[in-house]
Structure 1
Amino acid sequence: MSTSPSPARRSAVYLLDQVLGEGRLMAELLGAGALDRLEPADRARVQRLAQDVLRGLERADRVLGKHLRKTPPLHVRNILRLATVELCSGGDAHGVVNDAVALTAGHKKGQHMKGMVNAVLRKVAADGGAEWAKLRVPRLPKWLRDPLVMAWGGEAVMAMETAQFAGAPLDLTVKPDAGDWAARLGGAVLPTGSVRVAQAGQVSALPGFAEGAWWVQDAAAAMPARLLDARPGEAVLDMCAAPGGKTLQLAAAGADVTALDISEARLARVRENLSRTGLTARVVAGDALEHRGSYDAILLDAPCSATGTIRRHPDLPHAKDGAEFGALFELQAAMLDHALGLLKPGGRLVFCTCSLLPDEGECQVEEALERHPGLTVDRAAPDRPGIDPAWITEEGGLRLRPDYWPDLGGMDGFYMAVLRKG
């Protein structure tokens, strides 16, 4: 029996321990260098393994539950969860079980449980796959599911959960011809112009990455900059710029872009992407509420709950609990008010959030219209190729959800509206 488990599985269990035990987000862990010692291909595998477990957590626990007399410590439970998801997805039983036992044996508090782990996983290997397939699509945690049901209804939320469970393909925003790059990458051009690649593998190894022909950006996340429609020479502020996809779009349009973000560390990635793509923007580290200037157009992708990104960030529903909602709502309103003060008369501002909560989208715009006489919503802005008129909201914004485009692989949840200053 192997005594040296796969580094990828060991690292995946570490990520699960941190997300489910410490409430940390995977992006935070990766930014802190959790996987830096691994090769790029191994890093991609670790993230895929951990994300698969987080998406299928409810199913994994149900499959395991019939074989466990009592709940083991979290670290051992996460080893079991990882192995169960792999086994129920067709993983090699010998390698999966041996690694799980070795991981358990290598943990001081779990050594005495290696026999139990072996016995349980042998049973899962025998009949877990059939049981897995019969279980319902995993549901979102109650703290998130309840407000979403209130906003969109139970049927829509179940469709969102289906999209979340399926995961997200790779979407790219392409500088040159999208059709040409879709063909070269084995992808397809989406109705809104993004390129979608279903089985991408290691992103940095794909054709076009090194020469900066494209950048990774969900199709929904690409829409705010398209609605802003920046023009050559315009002074444009990307108010919360990191990680920089929207900055790249604005710069590619020829605008004079200022990329502002409070995090110098996150701006390093913006600079890196600008360098790789050969695009230019003024990169500024600072508090958006203290920024000064005068701009023709502003894109405010405000800090939010990020609940619209659960397809690609399945750790979020498990690492958060909604306690920060109230503070976020207040911050969004304050940032929107300040942004309007930086906008030239007649200028336009896109307010957007990657949230599924109306309080972070529709409600923010409705309340801003009440606070600012002369402010209007540009109702013509969402009239663009690929936009279903049913996605346009009562106040004139655009509501995107994970359950849209079900036959194409879904999209992130987003809200956006183009505001014009009188």
Structure 2
Amino acid sequence: MAHKPDPAGLKLRLIAARRLKAVLGGEHFSPFNAADLPDGRDRALANRLITTALRRHGQIDAMLAELLEKGLPPRSGSFEAILRLSLAQLVFLPDLGAHSALFLAVEAVKRDNKARHLSGLMNAVLRRAQANSARYGLMDEALLLPEAVRQRWTEIYGSAAVSRFAEALIAGAPLDLTLRDDDQDLIEALAAEPLLADSVRLENRDRPVEALPGYDAGRFWVQDAASAIPARLLGLEPGSNVLDLCAAPGGKTAQLLKAGYKVTALDNDRARLDRLRANMERLGYAPHMVEADAGNYAPSSTFKGVLLDAPCSATGTFRRHPEVLWRRSASDIASRVRLQQGLLTNAFRCLEPGGTLLYCTCSLEPEEGESQVDWALNALPGLELFPIRPQELPGLPQAVTSGGLVRTHPGMTPGSGNAGMDGFFVARFSRTG
């Protein structure tokens, strides 16, 4: 008897469910690339389904609470991931069709030995959701952010800004690039919008990065407009020796090399260093690369400049990684704060007298930003704040605080753009002795 072929779209649904299940289990979300799904249309659809499910996670939680009176079944394999993808399609992606959402969900559950007994429940739940899809589509935007996160950020940034955060979450992030050269022809070929300094933005992401004009020639690298700010603020003479701690994947390393510095790029992960090396080769740059722990690295001589982009909660990247909103607890942030303090201490040791230290995080949490400045000034004698001035950030002076720090968030608009940017914090210090 001939094997009956799988229904169209089922394989993609199964692949998407596996990726979402991994993210729900604690993994970092990585969009599918050509190696995962060679067909560009399949890749775009799978990424769209997953990112919609992640961005609408809080609203889907509320739907599940209503639709599953007894809660999610225990030990149910891929049931939850398939259900979340299907609810995302039914309610928030109506252009994809309701029939395929129901049919493919049931078929996908049947292919999972741990979930196939729940195919009837999947069908019943999704039919109830379909009947209520109009109401679900109008769910309160307050559900987009965890309640504790919303309250904390409202106290810090204000309710108007947090409303813009929710809008930015749903909109996702456009593609920002940093250009290797001042290249108007490339900007036109990319159909890009100039933002700040050498950052440009592509609103239309209909092609993979590798297919964009200038990629193979190393004429740009991917870097959010906020992430590109710190390296521009070092302000040293060309030829100065600079240490880039926690350097991979290399966006800031490339900026430092472009500025004419002699750069040592350090990371403690071999795979990440390999990625940095590949990126530098494409761009035509050659930093000195070191595999070492940034917390105890002891160079033979100190540096005129040190850039520390410290590991953090990454809450400022929620437009690309919505899962961070639902994972970061107070204890989680506290453990990162302790790590950052150790890294700051060693960054200070690596800095020569008269040198400049830049500390930055892609976090919206003051504990990982402003509070770390207070800690460093008290704990590291000889370290002084070197205030950043608004005129050093043309196109975004509102990001410079009265205390000379930089604080961006997704509700801010860089340059003349009409979309936001990552949440980022930057402080600049000098060593007096």
TM-score (normalizing by structure 2):
0.87
What is the CA-CA distance between 1:136 and the residue it aligns to? 2.3
Task: Tell me, yes or no, if the aligned pair for 1:258 and 1:282 is still in contact at 8 Å.
Answer: yes
Correspondence for 1:415 among 407, 420, 425: 425
Going from structure 1 to structure 2, the CA distance change for 1:263 and 1:145 (only over 3 Å counts) comes to farther
What is the CA-CA distance between 1:235 and the residue it aligns to? 0.7
Going from structure 1 to structure 2, the CA distance change for 1:204 and 1:126 (only over 3 Å counts) comes to farther
Query: 1: CA distance between counterparts of 2:335 and 2:370?
Result: 17
Correspondence for 2:247 among 228, 241, 246: 241
Q: Deviations 1:289-335 (Å, cap 9, x if unpaired)?
A: 22123111111101111111111111222344343222211221221
Going from structure 1 to structure 2, the CA distance change for 1:385 and 1:151 (only over 3 Å counts) comes to closer
Which amino acid is 1:316 matched to?
V
What is the CA-CA distance between 1:108 and the residue it aligns to? 1.9
Which amino acid is 2:394 matched to?
G
Alignment of 1:61-210 (within 5 A): 61-63=61-63, 66-73=66-73, 75-87=78-90, 88-89=92-93, 90-122=95-127, 124-125=129-130, 128-129=133-134, 131-142=136-147, 144-177=149-182, 179-201=184-206, 202-210=208-216
Residue 47 of structure 1 aligns with which residue?
47
- Give the secondary-structure state (helix, strand or coil) at the position aligned to 1:383: helix
Cα RMSD after superposing both structures:
2.7
Q: Does 1:398 align with 2:406?
A: yes
Q: Identity over aligned residues, as a percent?
A: 39
What is the CA-CA distance between 1:382 and the residue it aligns to? 4.8
Task: Tell me, yes or no, if the aligned pair for 1:227 and 1:381 is still in contact at 8 Å.
Answer: no
Going from structure 1 to structure 2, the CA distance change for 1:141 and 1:130 (only over 3 Å counts) comes to closer
Bigger RCO (CA 8 Å, 6+ sep): 1
Residue 227 of structure 1 aligns with which residue?
233
Q: Does 1:11 align with 2:24?
A: no
Query: 2: CA distance between counterparts of 1:340 and 1:105?
Result: 58
Which amino acid is 1:138 matched to?
L
Query: 2: CA distance between counterparts of 1:160 and 1:111?
Result: 39
Worse overlay, 193-202 or 403-412: 403-412
Which amino acid is 2:426 matched to?
M
Task: Tell me, yes or no, if the aligned pair for 2:304 and 2:351 is still in contact at 8 Å.
Answer: yes
What is the CA-CA distance between 1:114 and the residue it aligns to? 2.4
Q: Does 1:361 align with 2:364?
A: no
Worse overlay, 154-163 or 341-350: 154-163
Q: Does 1:337 align with 2:350?
A: no
Task: Tell me, yes or no, if the aligned pair for 2:226 and 2:421 is still in contact at 8 Å.
Answer: yes
Query: 1: CA distance between counterparts of 2:253 and 2:147?
Result: 35
What is the CA-CA distance between 1:158 and the residue it aligns to? 3.1
- Give the secondary-structure state (helix, strand or coil) at the position aligned to 1:350: strand
Q: Does 1:286 align with 2:292?
A: yes
How many aligned residue pairs are there? 417
What is the CA-CA distance between 1:220 and the residue it aligns to? 0.2
Query: 2: CA distance between counterparts of 1:85 and 1:145?
Result: 22
Query: 2: CA distance between counterparts of 1:388 and 1:123?
Result: 48
Task: Tell me, yes or no, if the aligned pair for 2:313 and 2:328 is still in contact at 8 Å.
Answer: no
Worse overlay, 398-407 or 151-160: 151-160
Going from structure 1 to structure 2, the CA distance change for 1:420 and 1:387 (only over 3 Å counts) comes to farther
Correspondence for 1:383 among 391, 400, 413: 391
Query: 1: CA distance between counterparts of 2:54 and 2:37?
Result: 21
Task: Tell me, yes or no, if the aligned pair for 1:2 and 1:98 is still in contact at 8 Å.
Answer: no
What is the CA-CA distance between 1:65 and the residue it aligns to? 5.2
What is the CA-CA distance between 1:387 and the residue it aligns to? 4.5
What is the CA-CA distance between 1:53 and the residue it aligns to? 0.6
Q: Deviations 1:201-253 (Å, cap 9, x if unpaired)?
A: 32212221121111111000000111124543111110110111101111122
Which amino acid is 1:99 matched to?
L
- Give the secondary-structure state (helix, strand or coil) at the position aligned to 1:312: coil
Going from structure 1 to structure 2, the CA distance change for 1:323 and 1:12 (only over 3 Å counts) comes to farther
Query: 2: CA distance between counterparts of 1:221 and 1:93?
Result: 39
Query: 2: CA distance between counterparts of 1:381 and 1:242?
Result: 28
Query: 2: CA distance between counterparts of 1:19 and 1:161?
Result: 21
Query: 2: CA distance between counterparts of 1:35 and 1:146?
Result: 40
Worse overlay, 162-171 or 238-247: 162-171
- Give the secondary-structure state (helix, strand or coil) at the position aligned to 1:298: strand
Q: Does 1:218 align with 2:224?
A: yes
Worse overlay, 215-224 or 382-391: 382-391
Going from structure 1 to structure 2, the CA distance change for 1:203 and 1:230 (only over 3 Å counts) comes to farther
Worse overlay, 334-343 or 296-305: 334-343
What runs of 5+ residues in structure 2 fail to find an aligned partner? none
Worse overlay, 269-278 or 45-54: 45-54
Query: 1: CA distance between counterparts of 2:209 and 2:249?
Result: 16
Residue 370 of structure 1 aligns with which residue?
378
Going from structure 1 to structure 2, the CA distance change for 1:396 and 1:312 (only over 3 Å counts) comes to same
What is the CA-CA distance between 1:153 and the residue it aligns to? 3.6
What runs of 5+ residues in structure 1 fail to find an aligned partner? none
Q: Deviations 1:242-293 (Å, cap 9, x if unpaired)?
A: 1111011111222111110111111111011001111111111101122123
Worse overlay, 110-119 or 213-222: 110-119
Task: Tell me, yes or no, if the aligned pair for 2:361 and 2:368 is still in contact at 8 Å.
Answer: yes
Residue 38 of structure 1 aligns with which residue?
37
Going from structure 1 to structure 2, the CA distance change for 1:297 and 1:108 (only over 3 Å counts) comes to same
Residue 314 of structure 1 aligns with which residue?
322
